Chain A
Amino acid sequence: MPQITDSFRYWMLIVPALAIMIIFYIFPVLGIWQISVTEPEAGFGNYVRMVESSAVRTSFLITFRVAAITTVGCLILGYIVAYTISNYASRLTPLMLALVLLPFWVSVLIRSFSWIVLLGRSGLVNDTLRDAGIIDTPIRLMHNELGVLIAMIHVMLPFAILPMLANLRGISGSYVQAARGLGASEWTAFWHVYFPQTLPGVMSAALLVFVLSLGFFITPALLGGGRVLMISEYITYQIQEFLAWGLGSALSVALLIATALVLLIAARFVNLRSVLLDRK
């Protein structure tokens, strides 16, 4: 019986995953790249059209702005939740975890529609405020960027909490205790001892939320009132309404490159390997 070498065993494990990636992901993506330079005619016409179109520029701007604000919002809210769950262990921990996970498993479509019910002119929020005498006329909470952001932060929150939670739970409490023992104030102990240790979790949460937000589609389409046009909706529009496969593909290539750029820039500031791969 021939000897199975370590490297052979290694590749045996890798190859199926690699093959699936190539067949179902890399290959179709290359197909998209090809369409973007061959339709409706060969050349870079689609890219020229894309760069010249101010609608496309604005759409990219909106996409990145919404993704950035969503990320910041998710990090702040998510950090508080993750910190509470991991540092105040009690009987409530399973319940709190369930409250994070349950919405995570509910369809994005349903969650977005729920926000429509809540945020509408005669929605729960406005009705409550009006009944309480705080406002006279309904506030515009949706069909604008505010509505999109509220719903997107809600949808993305579990994606921020879960990686941070994994990180926070691995941090030993003894460092903070030691700092406190040496006379550090509660804030100093948190900011200089605890917080730096959580940075890998924060970074991976930020990347996850930001990159997922870039490709978001349903929530902005439902709550944006047509004026928060994210690039993925624009792509659907081109392909479904106008059969403009070339321009649609060019836009998706641009989105892919932009996402890659974000990762590259992030890599300059943080060690992606430790953020994404290593877990304590």
Chain B
Amino acid sequence: MTDTTDIEAKQDIVEIAVERYKQGRLTRRGFVAALGALGVLPMLGNKAMAQPKEIIVVNWGGQAKDVLQEVLCDTYTELTGIPVIVDGSGPSAGKIRAMVESGAVVWDLCDSGAGSAIILEQQGITQPINYDIVDRSKVLEGTAYNNGVGNYVYSYVLATNPTMLGGNVPTTWEDVWNVKDFPGMRTFRKSVRGMLESATMAQGVPLAEVYDALGTEDGIKSAIDKFRQIRENIIVWGSGSESQNLFLQEEVAIGNIWSTRAHLLKDQMPEGSFQVSFNGGVIAPGIWVVPKENPAGADEVMKFIAHGQKPELQVKWLEMIGSGPINPEAADMVPPELAPFNPSSPENLATQILYNDEWYAKNQTSAEELYVNALIN
């Protein structure tokens, strides 16, 4: 179990520093000093020491760092003799950009998101994926971009505690909003990300039309309004660990949380007191991006990405930390007891939609304001 809050705060500060630097509000020297103060610079400075034939993979730290090291990196080293090291310091788009722009690239491969991958490509920060080496057919449809390719998936799912609900468990988002038949506290994310979709489905909008409905101002307003209706029954979560704690301490009986946290919870909660439904879930893929002029060279990294596409490795990844395989072939190899918790099993894929980054790029800021207002006002 890891608390990601501090890391997130740090990332945000770095991003702000980058933003300030770009606006010319921070001198180059001030910028480097700021990164140094945040403990980011030592990593930038490692370049001189890095061996030429070594791959540095960066993810968001915590348990995922150890699992990534064990499942993908060490197996690659066994096969090729090339050392692969995981750095868990969190490759936010801002940090990647700062690194490439300062010309001190030490990262070879970064675990990013679809939105960031698109922005970084537009800004010319990342390299194209070589689809001669990386197999396009081994990722879920819609997760292969020019400069980024899917590496795992997680989703926003409906988690419930049947014991607290007396066995009467909501199975759809409509049920979640029905506080009469399903009393008790619910938890939703502090941000609109992944939440407005559920509120839209709760109004009876079919899966495929959710983002169309949210495409209009009325659609957003009515989704926000849904949260206003059940405000008294909402506790919000800020970080993934917070959502996990809310279930562990039985503060909530129903919640919209990340499937990766649900995966941890199913082992921590007493038998029969935790359930997950992927019905109406929102799938978000993790996306590999390769910074420009990475020290290990593009080809080497592409081979590593291709290595990570092996279904048996992805299944192991699911077993250990709950990230769903991005390779559709892997679904058959998932042990039956884990299949219900696999966000990318064919059954679960059929009932979910893919997170729409373009919608968020356009609407998130204004929607957040409305969301906060609905929760407190």
Chain A positions within 8 Å of B, measured between CB atoms, are: 53-55, 58-59, 62, 116, 120-123, 143, 221, 225-229, 234, 237, 239-245
**B377–A55 CB distance below 8 A:** yes
Mostly, the B contact residues are helix
Complex: A116 Cα to B251 Cα, angstroms:
11
Our pick among B9, B190, B251, B373 for the contact of A226 (Cβ within 8 Å) is B190
**B249–A243 CB distance below 8 A:** no
Known: A241-B191, A243-B19. A120 touches B375 (CB 8 A): no
**Chain B contacts for A240, CB-based, 8 A:** 9, 12-13, 16
Complex: A62 Cα to B235 Cα, angstroms:
17
Binds A, one of B264-272, B315-323, B364-372: B364-372
Distance (Å) between the CB of B367 and the closest chain A CB? 11
**B235–A58 CB distance below 8 A:** no
Complex: A170 Cα to B283 Cα, angstroms:
67
Distance (Å) between the CB of A148 and the closest chain B CB? 12
**Chain A contacts for B372, CB-based, 8 A:** 55, 229, 234, 237
**Chain B contacts for A59, CB-based, 8 A:** 376
Within 8 A of A (CB), among B5-48: 9, 12-13, 15-16, 19
Known: A53-B369, A241-B368. A227 touches B251 (CB 8 A): no
Complex: A240 Cα to B10 Cα, angstroms:
10
**Chain B contacts for A227, CB-based, 8 A:** 231, 234, 236, 375-376
Top 8 nearest A-B pairs (CB, nearest first) are: A226-B236, A55-B373, A225-B235, A240-B12, A58-B377, A143-B235, A229-B376, A55-B372
Whether B349 sits at the interface, judged by CB under 8 Å, is no
Known: A58-B377, A120-B249. A225 touches B234 (CB 8 A): yes
Complex: A226 Cα to B190 Cα, angstroms:
7
Known: A226-B190, A239-B16, A241-B368. A121 touches B376 (CB 8 A): no
Whether B250 sits at the interface, judged by CB under 8 Å, is yes
Within 8 A of A (CB), among B145-202: 185, 190-191
Complex: A242 Cα to B366 Cα, angstroms:
10
A-B contact list, 13 entries, CB within 8 Å: A55-B372, A55-B377, A116-B249, A120-B249, A123-B249, A225-B234, A226-B235, A227-B375, A227-B376, A237-B372, A240-B12, A240-B16, A241-B368
